[in-house]
Amino acid sequence: MSTEDRLEKDLSNSRDAGHTHAEFQEDTLRRIQTAGSFVITPEIFEKMYLTPPNKVKGDLRLKFANPTPLGLTGFVIALTPLCCALMGWRGAGGGGAAEIGPYYWFGGVLQLIAGVLEFFLGNTFPFVVLTSFGGFFLSFATTLTPSFNATAAYGTDVEQFHATFGFFPLFMGLLCVFYFICSLRTNIVFATIFFFLVAALGLLTAGHWQIAQGHVDLAANINIAAGAIAFVSALGGWYLLLSQLLEALDFPIQLPVGDLSGFIQSRSQRMAKKDPSQLV
């Protein structure tokens, strides 16, 4: 009997065999086969999709490619040049305005496409993360686009623009706090990305508000620190991207990401221990 036949049999008979929902889910997910190439364990599933294993209706994961590396590609190509500009490498500056193209197409469009594809695969967490970061980079690029009149609307009152715009990275940082908490059920590298993004966005907020107060030199130093901290997140993204590509090609060399899927026990696992009859 082929692997796919065994999987179909498991899907139809596991509940009738007296297994709990948690046992059924774990056994099934240990046998999921992607693109006909290899059978993935829960650890590999989390590494590839950046979400703990979950059971969804249908077999889209068996038919279509994994969109997560595409989203990571957009993330790192947009974020890394921005970090370099904030740190002033090779004389770069201007808030990274010269990189507006990558912000639109890599940071915005690529992440939105990947996020929508995650939606169809039933991967809620990466869907929300990728689409929200796509929106972030599109919003940032829009602000830098003269035709949208974001800065010109304030005329010579540059301080008021920065006082107002500072709320954007502030609340994006709050969103990343939520993502960091949720990522503690994925892997160490993914969680590290959010941890440093929270710090970087907080510093960017401080930089804008320091400009609003007239402390331009202090704001410049804060932006350098923000770029350096965000660069750590970018490096984490590059590492995670390479690890996923190596995994997708069944490469003989694999990069560990520090699986955390069992670090915080899922609600269904706790319910199974307390009262298996509550599971449906």
Instruction: Summarize pLDDT for 121-136 with one digit per residue, the tens.
Output: 888 999 999 999 999 9
Burial of 145 from C-beta contacts in 10 A (0-12 / 13-18 / 19+)? middle
Instruction: Summarize pLDDT for 175-229 with one digit per residue, the tens.
Output: 999 999 999 988 999 999 999 999 999 999 999 999 999 999 999 999 999 999 9
For residue 197, what pLDDT is reported? 98
Closest by Cα among 100, 108, 68 to 81: 100
Burial of 28 from C-beta contacts in 10 A (0-12 / 13-18 / 19+)? middle
For residue 55, what pLDDT is reported? 63
Measured CA to CA, the distance from residue 219 to residue 208 in angstroms comes to 7
Average pLDDT of span 158-168: 96
Measured CA to CA, the distance from residue 194 to residue 182 in angstroms comes to 10
**What does DSSP assign to residue 259?**
B
Instruction: Summarize pLDDT for 17-65 with one digit per residue, the tens.
Output: 444 444 544 554 444 444 444 456 656 655 565 555 556 555 655 667 8
Average pLDDT of span 265-271: 68
Helix or strand run (H / E) with residue 184: none
Instruction: Summarize pLDDT for 214-224 with one digit per residue, the tens.
Output: 999 999 999 99
As given in the structure block, the two tokens for residue 167 are: 């709320």
Alpha carbons within 13 A on the beta-carbon side of 149 = 3
Q: Look at residue 76 and tell me whether its pLDDT is greater than 50.
A: yes
